[in-house]
Amino acid sequence: MDVYKITGENRLQGTIKVSGAKNSAVALIPASILANSPVTIGGLPEISDAWTLKALLEEIGGEVSFEDGTMTIDPTDMIALPLPNGNVKKLRASYYLMGAMLGRFKKAVIGLPGGCFLGPRPIDQHIKGFEALGAKITNEHGAIYLRADELIGAKIYLDVASVGATINIMLAAVLAKGRTVIENAAKEPEIIDVATLLTNMGANIKGAGTSVIRIEGVEELHGTEHTIIPDRIEAATFMIMAAAIGEGVTIDNVIPLHLEAVIAKLREMGVKIDIGEESIFVPKTDLDTLHAVDVKTLVYPGFPTDIQQPLAVLMSQAFGSSKVTDTIYTARFKHIDELRRMNANARVEGNTAIITGPSKLQGSTVTATDLRAGAALVLAGLLAEGETEIHDIYHIERGYSSLIEKLRDLGANIRRETIMARVAETKE
């Protein structure tokens, strides 16, 4: 199996470029199903989720090329083949195939999606939206069956401002008859990105990025070219790494507006941040002036749940006790046990983690339990004394493109190695 090995305490310096947004990519690629001619998406991150979606589109008859971050999808000959198993189980965002296939073919069969296990993330809001548009939905043998004679616009109020449900309903509604209104819609930048692609394809969408989105159905959508937005979560991860062990790091290809909550919290901790138009510079942080803060994760524009895990590592270097309360995913504290193996002083109480610093981290063998926990462990390894070995790195590679190369260019001592799985593990 493959692991990351990191020898810690090397200072990071230089410029690191942020890839396209993972959470946009996994929705933009399925959205191409709705077009009647080729769609080209530029700036995509070369992550395993993008390759999995490419394979899924090819399974239903799409012609797809993907090189140098540009994916061209010809959806002309796609058909509504069932996708109950296989690749569809590999990533959570395969649920966007439901909205896209329902919108184009008025039917779909999609296996229940996989991805990181972060506790219950129900798709009931997605289903409520599809049913409002006139689809019949059944769950048979672990796959979701969606069928509609026709889709008719409706008013849909989301009980939770879910990004996934907001995008999925948009995908289903753009070719429906009449007007659809999504109330209590999520406001994340990735939703605006998907709406921009759909609008360029000929859809009529107003209000993306606000809590009310209005969609007038159109007869058909055509191909287009689109460039994805930068990944705000990756940018924030690099900002935290720069604060923890940087000698002056420039993070390039960012939209600072998307990072306001993270920038504010880092400044509150004592991190200096210089903001450019499309870049952010983090000078060397004096860890003696780093102090504890309290963080509560909220939907955008609040502090992102995806960043509380890497931030926990920086908190372990700050003076005092920091508190992280996660209101989005209660099971998102598995990294705390792993950080404790590395000598962090941290504990979990309900939906709150309490991290007391500063602690001198020690290299250890740890496991990435999910994507952002993996990013946290990479940072912990960069800070720690000695060598850190990270297992289950496939989680990390679902969301971070060329992470090793990017960090090595800054001076990190990190490599990927294939090791023999331990005998005890193979017996289980």
- 68 C-beta neighbours (distance < 10 Å), count: 7
Nearest to 118 by CA among 399, 356, 364, 424: 399
Dihedral angle, C-alpha 164, 170, 175, 180, nearest 10 °? 130
Q: Is 175 left (phi over 0), alpha (psi -120 to 50) or beta?
A: alpha
Dihedral angle, C-alpha 226, 232, 235, 239, nearest 10 °? 160
Q: Please check if 328 is assigned to a binding site.
A: yes
Q: Please check if 121 is assigned to a binding site.
A: yes
Q: Please check if 398 is assigned to a binding site.
A: no
Q: Please check if 92 is assigned to a binding site.
A: yes
Q: Please check if 306 is assigned to a binding site.
A: yes
CB 316 within 8 A of CB 355: yes
Q: Please check if 189 is assigned to a binding site.
A: no
Nearest to 318 by CA among 366, 273, 286, 284: 286
CA distances to 205, 231, 262 from 379, rounded to whole Å, are 40, 18, 17
Q: Please check if 2 is assigned to a binding site.
A: no
Q: Please check if 301 is assigned to a binding site.
A: no
Residue 423 parent element (H or E): helix 423-427
Pairing of strands 365-367, 387-391: parallel
Cα angle value 203/205/206 (rounded, 5°): 155
Active-site residue 116, yes or no?
yes
Q: Please check if 317 is assigned to a binding site.
A: no
- Residue 79's identity, in one-letter code, is I
3-class secondary-structure state, position 373:
helix
Catalytic residue among 116, 174, 205, 244: 116
CA distances to 85, 163, 238, 320 from 400, rounded to whole Å, are 25, 20, 11, 31
Tokens of 210: 């606000």
Q: Please check if 252 is assigned to a binding site.
A: no
DSSP E strand boundaries for 18-67: 39-42, 63-67
Known binding-site residues for phosphoenolpyruvate equal 22-23
Catalytic positions, please? 116
Known binding-site residues for UDP-N-acetyl-alpha-D-glucosamine equal 92, 121-125, 306, 328
Known binding-site residues equal 22-23, 92, 121-125, 306, 328
